[in-house]
Amino acid sequence: MKRRGMGEGNDLTGNGKGHAVQNRKTVLVTGATSGIGLALSREFAGKGYRLVLSASGEDRLRKVAARLEREFPTSVIGAICQDLAEDGGGIGLYGQVRARNIAVDVLVNNAGFGLVGEEISLPLARERKMIGVNISAVTELTHLFLRDMCQRGGGKILNVASVGAFQPGPYTAAYYATKAYVVNYTRALRVEAKKYGVQACALCPGTTRTAFFEKAGSRVPIWAMSASKVARIAFRGLERNREVIVPGVVNRLLQCLPQRVKLWGIAMLKR
Ligand SMILES: NC(=O)c1ccc[n+]([C@@H]2O[C@H](COP(=O)([O-])OP(=O)(O)OC[C@H]3O[C@@H](n4cnc5c(N)ncnc54)[C@H](OP(=O)(O)O)[C@@H]3O)[C@@H](O)[C@H]2O)c1
């Protein structure tokens, strides 16, 4: 298993010293270098959290860590490079965080990607990687950090799913199914974790303006919401301990449509 830390330079510039800093909570954000993850990192840093950032692209992670540290001095206490598509990628990231003696108060499982196209024409290897990031790594990280949080008697987990979790998605079948897993998994363990003082919430964004679409092989729809707005709503929802957070009135209203209509609409849009 490949595990690459980014060295002491990212773990930081004496930021762990000082009483005020030590009282700050720490959030681990996966997929922190782009889109919703980057916006969530800004949101948490703006609220005084210390950040542990993670992604698989080392150069970009280094740049984003430096940029966030400039925007929010003393915020970035870790930048950990880990490919979550690898077998055991989530376990690898957990090990790297523990090796740095960092206690995570809030885990944000945001890293993920989608694939659009007819199931029979999508590359199976990419699909397996997607399942690795969207399901396996989310499960590993949630399992391991949840255990620590339960032992400490507190903590929060925000798992990023999608409105795609609420119905099957023709021409994006496996992606939507991964997000249905995330929502159901999160809602179930939320019940289990409550008695330990740990909260788990699922964030279900609708279409959001990020690099996601380009990577999935499609275009950003014009009605897409900004990632910063999604992050603001997500942070508030987590503070209020909402079980499922769906940013935007339109996204919430769309969930009231009959399943058949949604299925047909998605098929038309994604075909
Ligand atoms: N954009 C939307 O419309 C939308 C809607 C609903 C839900 N979502 C969900 O929101 C989350 C964030 O997506 P986004 O729209 O912000 O996309 P994005 O801009 O493409 O960001 C994805 C982030 O995940 C990281 N990532 C991807 N593959 C990874 C891997 N193998 N290992 C570790 N990190 C990996 C990326 O960094 P590296 O490539 O460097 O690793 C990047 O930081 C995803 O879970 C997505 O499913 C997005």
pLDDT of residue 22: 59
pLDDT of residue 9: 35
Verify whether ligand 1 is closer than 6 Å to residue 126 (CB atom).
no
Backbone angles phi, psi at 51, to 5 degrees: -110, 135
Expressed in angstroms and rounded, the spacing between residue 212 Cα and the centre of ligand 1 is 6
Q: How far apart are CA 171 and CA 192, in angstroms?
A: 34
Verify whether ligand 1 is closer than 6 Å to residue 162 (CB atom).
yes
- Length of the chain in residues, anyone? 271
Q: How far apart are CA 210 and CA 268, in angstroms?
A: 22
Q: How far apart are CA 41 and CA 50, in angstroms?
A: 9
pLDDT of residue 120: 97
Closest residue by Cα to atom 34, ligand 1, is 55
Structural contact between residues 26 and 44, judged by C-beta atoms closer than 8 angstroms: no
Q: How far apart are CA 45 and CA 32, in angstroms?
A: 12
CATH 3.40.190.10 fits 4-270, yes or no: no
Model confidence pTM above 0.85: yes
- Average pLDDT value over all residues in the chain: 92
Burial of 258 (0-12, 13-18, 19+ CB in 10 A): exposed
Verify whether ligand 1 is closer than 6 Å to residue 9 (CB atom).
no
Residue 258 has pLDDT above 50, yes or no: yes
Residue 250 CB: number of other CB atoms within 10 A? 12
Any idea which residue has 């032992």 for tokens?
A: 151
Query: Active-site residue numbers?
Result: 175
Verify whether ligand 1 is closer than 6 Å to residue 210 (CB atom).
yes
Expressed in angstroms and rounded, the spacing between residue 149 Cα and the centre of ligand 1 is 25
Q: How far apart are CA 116 and CA 237, in angstroms?
A: 29
The pLDDT tens digits of the residues spanning 116-131 come to 999 999 999 999 999 9
The pLDDT tens digits of the residues spanning 141-160 come to 999 999 999 999 999 999 99
Q: Residue 34 has which token pair?
A: 């782009």
Q: How far apart are CA 182 and CA 41, in angstroms?
A: 21
**Terminal alpha carbon distance of the chain:** 37
Any idea which residue has 């994604």 for tokens?
A: 270
The continuous run of DSSP H or E covering 149 comes out as helix 138-152
Determine what percent of the chain is predicted with pLDDT higher than 90. Answer: 86
